[in-house]
Amino acid sequence: MAIYPHIHCKGWRMNSLTGLFSPSELAALKKHIFVFSEGRFSSWDAVKDRQVVVFGAGHYGRGTIDLLLKEGVTPLFCVDADSTRIGTSYKNILTRPVAALAEAKNALVVLSSAYAGEMFTLCRQYPVETVLPIELPLASTPVAPIGLHMEEYEHNANLAELVALLDPTSREVLKNFLSFQFTLDLTYMQKAYTPHPYFDRDFLHRIRYDVFCDLGASFGDTWHDYRTFTPCGKKNEYTYYAVEPDLNSFLQLQKNTINDRNVLPLFAAISATDGMTYISTEGQGSNLYFVDERKRAEVPMRSLDSLFHRLGPKPTVIKADVEGGEANVLDGGHNLLRTVKPDLIFSLYHKKNDFYELPLRIAKAGAYELGIRQHTTSYGELMVYALAKERQ
């Protein structure tokens, strides 16, 4: 059921972006929207017939290479504007200077970075065609979606529903996030930025950090920040559940936290049900959805409801950055959210519409006050802070 049922009435055609942008702002934005390939690569056959180059040798570029190789497309090479990356390789794909594009006549260049707008401008100097990863046939990839079609969100009732729930600061953050997605102009992300992921200053003394459940704990980077920024972390008065399904990261997590008796490392993937699942043993993080069958590991899978059925103390806040599995985390935690009413801090950038779908799901799971913050000046680290209004 919609929170604002009137939004979904028959014939509703209000521009859902008007809750964020004035008419003049929308008009100005439309003059600068990014020009997409308009479906020319809707099938992998259209990609496999081309020579392919990946622009970007960072995390995003490596995710694109993983995707292409899985689909049987081997890039000619990778290019990067960062001189420190030249000469490096990932899965035998060599990184070369941008000028190497002159040798790749008529190649398809996949723009794989938050700097895709600047990459696009550079590519115009060479006889190549460009495409964003989100325009490739497989929509659900380990590559966070950069570049959205503005027209898809002009009459989106769910987006309008979320905007109606947000405070002015969160609306401004979402406004700048979408402005970047529509134009690929990174100055919008810089406007939205505030530091310290999971520990934003506006929520630092409102979130109940005492019992912290870290889903996607990696090697303990969030644990380190937790002890640095939170009042309970500074006092050494807390319980910290560090949940990580990637074995190498988990072993490093154990090593890093071995002297902290407040930390309980748990080797598991958190999802909607209990069982076993596969994750990649290489590539882009603890990803449950993009797995090369030849290079995968089986790991235990638990739901939040199952995990905390007997385990205590119960979490007062749950942080989830699980490479696109955030919705499954919510599906497996209905009872916990209903009875314990923890605060939530969830990533919103792994899938195309996470930025509005996940906050709405949280709002419908209980009485939550929502806040959205952007914690990087490039792309990623868009988060929802959900504060339970009725606390246990």
**pLDDT tens digits for range 88-138:** 999 999 999 999 999 999 999 999 999 999 999 999 999 999 999 988 886
pLDDT for the residue 54: 98
Residue 156 has pLDDT above 90, yes or no: yes
Residue 382's DSSP bridge partners are 374
Position 378 scores a pLDDT of 85
CA 149 to chain centre: 18
pTM of the predicted structure, to 2 decimals: 0.91
* Number of structural domains in the chain: 2
Give per-residue pLDDT as tens, 9-21: 445 467 899 999 9
- The letter for the amino acid at 180 is F
| Domain match, 140 and 203 both | no
Q: Are strands 108-111 and 89-90 parallel, antiparallel or unpaired?
A: unpaired
Residue 153 within a domain? no
pLDDT at 138: 67
What is the SS3 assignment for 121-171? Answer: HHHCCCCCEEECHHHCCCCCCCCCCCCCCHHHHCCCHHHHHHHHHCCHHHH
pLDDT for res 365: 85
Same domain, 323 and 213: yes
Helix, strand, coil in percent for the chain, rounding step 5: 35, 20, 45
> At 5, is the pLDDT very low, low, confident or very high (cuts 50, 70, 90)?
very low
CATH number at residue 327: 3.40.50.150
- pLDDT for residue 345: 99
Residue 58's pLDDT band (boundaries 50, 70, 90)?
Answer: very high
pLDDT at 288 over 50: no
pLDDT of 329 strictly over 70: yes
Q: Are residues 280 and 374 in the same domain?
A: yes
Cα-only R_g, the chain: 22
* Mean pLDDT of the 299-303 span: 97
> What is the distance between the alpha carbons of residues 366 and 389, in angstroms, rounded to a whole number?
9
pLDDT at 137: 83
Output the pLDDT for position 284: 47
Q: Give residue 1's pLDDT.
A: 36
Of 147, 176, 210, the one marking the end of a domain is 147
Q: In terms of residue numbers, what domain contains 266? A: 193-388
Whether residue 313 is preceded by a cis peptide bond, meaning omega within 30 degrees of 0, is yes
Render pLDDT for 200-219 as a digit per residue (tens, 0 to 9): 999 999 999 999 999 999 99
| Mean pLDDT value of segment 59-78 | 92
Tell me which of 147, 171, 202 is where a domain ends: 147
Residues 317, 323, 327, CA angle at the centre, nearest 5°?
A: 60
One domain, residues 247 and 379: yes
Cα angle, residue 6 at apex, residues 4 and 10 outer, rounded to 5°: 135
Residues 345 and 220 in one domain: yes
Q: Are residues 307 and 247 in the same domain?
A: yes
